[in-house]
């Protein structure tokens, strides 16, 4: 196989990408980057449908919106990409819930709902998308907490560790036609974060060798790379995008 020309490596023209949770902070950053690279994009939302509609409208003809639960409605969500654009080439499993609670306060119902969305939802979307893709790429959004847990996030950290391992298992089973990779972001800036959580932001700045919070586009660029021909021989990998925080010693 000859290598693509350098100018073609990140070109997604003619490809269709579905991004779950695509109207949220990180999701919208991913959607915009994939669209900028030439892809047609399907923006998914579960409940808050207006931001998904608005984002798709802002991007124009190469964008559409779809709604549903990633576990219960996985088949119809993936089918919407075929109905709108005639194909599905890239799935980004970004949708997730992130409650904050100390371990003794986490009830069984809360735990089951988190695992249903964050883990079973990823598995369901992967299964349904793979059945429609033929050749394609799947990128799962995990978290550095899947590698290094934080206080009051035990259930979330466990779910993201499961996503990382699911990525490796899916890469094993879906290759060679479909590459499956993972991005594990660190703390990503969002409106009001520095005001609402100043001590956490200050601790992050002190810990990160690159001395800043992440931006949605930082995650979007990592997803674009893994979805593109630049990553054509990469599958089963977990790309950490955290400004270097996990390089910090913890003892």
Which candidate in 33, 155, 156, 207 is catalytic? Answer: 156
To the query of whether residue 67 is one of the catalytic residues in this protein, the response is no
- Torsion angle (degrees, nearest 10) of CA 162, 163, 168, 174: 120
Catalytically annotated residues: 156
């Amino acid at each position: 196989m000859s290598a693509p020309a350098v100018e073609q490596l990140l070109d997604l023209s003619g490809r269709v990408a579905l991004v779950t949770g695509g109207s949220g902070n990180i999701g919208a950053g991913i959607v915009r980057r994939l669209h900028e690279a030439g892809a047609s994009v399907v923006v998914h939302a579960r409940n808050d449908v207006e931001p998904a509609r608005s984002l798709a409208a802002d991007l124009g003809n190469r964008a559409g919106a779809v709604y549903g639960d990633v576990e219960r409605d996985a088949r119809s969500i993936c089918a919407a990409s075929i109905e709108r654009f005639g194909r599905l080439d890239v799935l980004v499993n970004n949708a997730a819930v992130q409650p904050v609670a100390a371990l003794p306060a986490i009830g069984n119902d809360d735990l089951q709902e988190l695992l249903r969305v964050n883990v079973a939802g990823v598995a369901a979307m992967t299964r349904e998308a793979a059945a429609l893709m033929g050749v394609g790429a799947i990128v799962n959004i995990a978290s550095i907490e899947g590698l290094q847990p934080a206080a009051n996030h035990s259930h979330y950290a466990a779910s993201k560790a499961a996503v990382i391992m699911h990525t490796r298992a899916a890469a094993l089973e879906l290759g060679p036609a479909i590459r499956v990779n993972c991005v594990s972001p660190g703390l990503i800036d969002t409106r009001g974060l520095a005001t609402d959580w100043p001590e956490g932001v200050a601790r992050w700045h002190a810990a990160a060798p690159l001395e800043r919070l992440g931006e949605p586009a930082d995650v979007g660029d990592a997803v674009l790379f893994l979805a593109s021909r630049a990553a054509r021989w990469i599958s089963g990998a977990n790309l950490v995008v955290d400004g270097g925080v996990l390089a910090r010693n913890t003892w």
